[in-house]
């Protein structure tokens, strides 16, 4: 069952419509990517889920019932615009934010000590935030986001501003949280990270949900019907074997004579894969055979520019 359901949400501002009849379902335990170019309406949708702002029409359901004020305790949110009180001490500040998320002072302190130890930053406790570097402050912010162990975590552009080492650490933490049963929504336009950690995505463009589903399914649906075969054998013979059967050969890498050769083939119909494979098999020795699956980046760009 889905943990979060957004139903026909519309939000208008004075001069533009930020979200127009957007619906989506986030499966429990998934890492859900919310993609879209800048200004598409992602942040508005995230604010609506966080109850920072209300939709003009439509509904948002958490665990099957309409979002209520106490649901903020079940959600952890790391905004894109992140900051802390500069003059406040790290520990005190983290406890304060945890208290705002409903933890008691004692509970918050105990959990924070554990997290600080885990990240090896216990000595930051009594430092002022202004003494920390940007990356250090980001770590504190991440801890604050997950401390109250929310069911639903929302990260808005989580990797922006992190160096590669910390970005990797963050990625591992996000996956660990998922493995512990949390659901993660994260908004990004960094496609590499989507492919690495998301299992479901929604693509929002110009206030509309233009593409939704599991990563696998989407890629398959947007498959190009192009296959690549690596083989050892007579290239010309293979080409002759395949011509005139509804397959088109896309590349002939004959400039690079090596033992293993490659060939890309387009087929009009998925059902004929078996036929293709047996045709190739009868002529040359197959080393590998795979479908060329488009990268999320390609799908993203195509979808946004309206080619799909």
Partner 1 sequence: MGKIGLIARREFNERVRKKSFIITTIITPLLMVGAMVLMVWLMGRTNNRDKEILVVDRSGIIAPSLSDEGTIHFRPSEQSLEEMQREQPEGVYGILVIDEDIMTDQRGANLYTYEASTVETEEAIAGQIKRIVESEKLKAYDIENLDRILAEIETPITLQTKTISTDGEMKDSSSTLSLISAYIFGLLIYMFVITYGTMVMQGVIEEKSNKVLELIVSSVKPFELMMGKIIGIASVALTQLLIWVVFIVVAGGAVLNIFAGDMMAAAASMNAGTAMPAGMDPESMDTVAMLSRLTDFGYILTLIIGFIVYFIGGYLFYASMFAAVGSAVDNEKDTQNLQLPITIPLLVSFFVLINAMQDPNGPLAFWFSLIPLTSPIIMMARLPYGVPGWEIVLSVALLYLSFVGMVWLAGKIYRVGIFMYGKKPTFKELFKWMKYKY
Binding to partner 1 by residue 53, rule CB under 8 A? yes
Query: Three-state DSSP class for 148?
Result: coil
Contact letters (x/-) for partner 1, 187-226, by CB under 8 A? ----------------------------------------
Write down the least CB distance from residue 13 to partner 1, Å: 8
Cβ nearer to partner 1, comparing 99 with 166 = 99
Binding to partner 1 by residue 52, rule CB under 8 A? yes
Q: 185 has which bridge partners?
A: 32, 154
Binding to partner 1 by residue 79, rule CB under 8 A? yes
Q: Pick the binder of partner 1 from 18, 75, 201, 215 (CB under 8 A).
A: 75
Q: From the CB of residue 124, how many other CB atoms can be counted at a distance below 10 Å?
A: 21
The per-residue DSSP string of 20-40 comes to EEEEEEEETT-EEEEE--TTS
Write down the least CB distance from residue 79 to partner 1, Å: 4
Q: Pick the binder of partner 1 from 63, 88, 199, 210 (CB under 8 A).
A: 88
Contact letters (x/-) for partner 1, 8-47, by CB under 8 A? ------x---------------------------------
Q: Which two tokens stand for residue 147?
A: 């401390």
Q: How far apart are the first and last CA of the chain?
A: 29
Cβ nearer to partner 1, comparing 98 with 296 = 98
Q: Which two tokens stand for residue 141?
A: 């912010």
Cβ nearer to partner 1, comparing 36 with 150 = 150
Q: Which two tokens stand for residue 58?
A: 């439509």
- Cα Rg of the chain (Å, integer): 25
Look at phi and psi of residue 291 and say left if phi exceeds 0, alpha if psi is from -120 to 50, else beta. beta
Binding to partner 1 by residue 56, rule CB under 8 A? yes
In 3D, which of 154, 95, 83 has the Cα closest to residue 126? 95
The binding site for partner 1 (CB under 8 A) comprises: 14, 50-54, 56, 72, 75, 77, 79, 81-88, 96-97, 99-101, 141, 144
């Amino acid at each position: 069952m889905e943990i979060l359901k957004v139903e026909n949400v519309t939000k208008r501002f004075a001069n533009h419509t930020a979200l127009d009849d957007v619906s989506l379902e986030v499966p429990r335990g998934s890492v859900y990517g919310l993609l879209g170019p800048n200004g598409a309406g992602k942040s508005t949708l995230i604010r609506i889920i966080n109850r920072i702002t209300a939709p003009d029409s439509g509904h948002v359901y958490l665990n099957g019932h309409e979002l209520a004020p106490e649901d903020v305790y079940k959600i952890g949110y790391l905004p894109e615009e992140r900051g802390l009180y500069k003059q406040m001490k790290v520990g005190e500040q983290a406890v304060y934010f945890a208290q705002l998320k409903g933890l008691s002072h004692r509970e918050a302190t105990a959990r924070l000590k554990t997290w600080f130890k885990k990240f090896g930053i216990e000595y930051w406790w009594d430092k002022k935030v202004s003494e920390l570097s940007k990356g250090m402050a980001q770590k504190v912010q991440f801890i604050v986001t997950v401390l109250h162990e929310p069911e639903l975590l929302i990260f808005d552009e989580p990797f922006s501003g992190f160096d590669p080492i910390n970005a990797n650490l963050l990625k591992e933490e996000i996956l660990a949280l998922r493995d512990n049963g949390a659901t993660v929504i994260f908004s990004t336009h960094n496609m590499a990270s989507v492919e690495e950690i998301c299992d479901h995505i929604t693509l929002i463009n110009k206030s509309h949900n233009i593409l939704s589903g599991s990563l696998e399914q989407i890629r398959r649906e947007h498959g190009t019907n192009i296959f690549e075969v690596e083989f050892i054998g007579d290239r010309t013979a293979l080409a002759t074997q395949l011509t005139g059967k509804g397959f088109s050969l896309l590349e002939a890498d004959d400039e690079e004579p090596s033992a293993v050769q490659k060939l890309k083939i387009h087929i009009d119909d998925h059902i004929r894969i078996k036929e293709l494979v047996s045709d190739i098999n009868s002529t040359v020795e197959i080393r590998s055979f795979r479908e060329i699956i488009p990268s999320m980046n390609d799908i993203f760009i195509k979808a946004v520019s309206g080619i799909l």
